[in-house]
Amino acid sequence: AQKVTQAQTEISVVEKEDVTLDCVYETRDTTYYLFWYKQPPSGELVFLIRRNSFDEQNEISGRYSWNFQKSTSSFNFTITASQVVDSAVYFCALMDSNYQLIWGAGTKLIIKP
Amino acid sequence: SQTIHQWPATLVQPVGSPLSLECTVEGTSNPNLYWYRQAAGRGLQLLFYSVGIGQISSEVPQNLSASRPQDRQFILSSKKLLLSDSGFYLCAWSPIGGGISAFFGQGTRLTVV
């Protein structure tokens, strides 16, 4: 079965702390894509990153970094030196071989000043 | 560049009234189009997707329907709204074949009273 699990429902940290959002997926496909989206209080979904199943290279973009490990079927997202503006709900998603997006339930991140 | 427009941003409708939410995409041809619903505090649920004009696939049996009268127009409708239809509705598009990312509209917050 295709599934995305974000076990952390809510995380609360103090500003400037590092925080990691977990994402574990299940798929029978050998070719797939993984995504992270940010949903701020305004509601709009903001695309953050895409990773295909053949590219396990970790990626860093400013304070954001992603750790993709096929061996554990995980695609975790780390925010370094968190800021209040990072407060949002973050979604992990899997695009399967039929190009359908399967979503995790989301993790609500609260950054306290 | 591609843009996606979704309206209205908010809507309050009485139970039993009809619904029509519209989504249009600019700057691309033959996109895949999607309607998602996000119930309060929950993840995203795929309602409908379309790979072409007049081609609609439904993921979840429900009180809603979708139509794609033009290549870049996707409409979500209901003949009679239920209280349970309340939620945040998001339209999204991705390049033909599903491609590599899905991009979202700003969403419509529907409250059925």
Half-sphere exposure in the Cβ direction for B30 (13 Å, CA) = 5
Distance from CA of A64 to the nearest CA of B (A): 19
Please report residues of A whose CB lies closer than 8 A to that of B107.
43-45
List the single residue in B with minimal CA-CA distance to A100.
B98
In this predicted structure, the answer to whether residue A20 has a pLDDT above a threshold of 80 is yes
In DSSP terms, A90 is beta-bridged to A38, A107
Task: Tell me the domains of chain B and their CATH numbers.
Answer: 3-106 (2.60.40.10)
Query: Sorting pLDDT into bands at 50, 70 and 90, what band is B101?
Result: low
pLDDT value for B21: 95
Give the one of A37, A44, A101 whose C-beta lies nearest to B46's C-beta. A101
How far apart (Å, rounded) are the C-alpha atoms in residues A26 and A2? Answer: 5
Question: In 3-state terms, what secondary structure has residue A82?
Answer: coil
- B102 to A35: CB separation less than 8 angstroms, yes or no: yes
Task: Tell me the domains of chain A and their CATH numbers.
Answer: 3-112 (2.60.40.10)
How far apart (Å, rounded) are the C-alpha atoms in residues B108 and B106? Answer: 7
Query: Sorting pLDDT into bands at 50, 70 and 90, what band is B91?
Result: very high
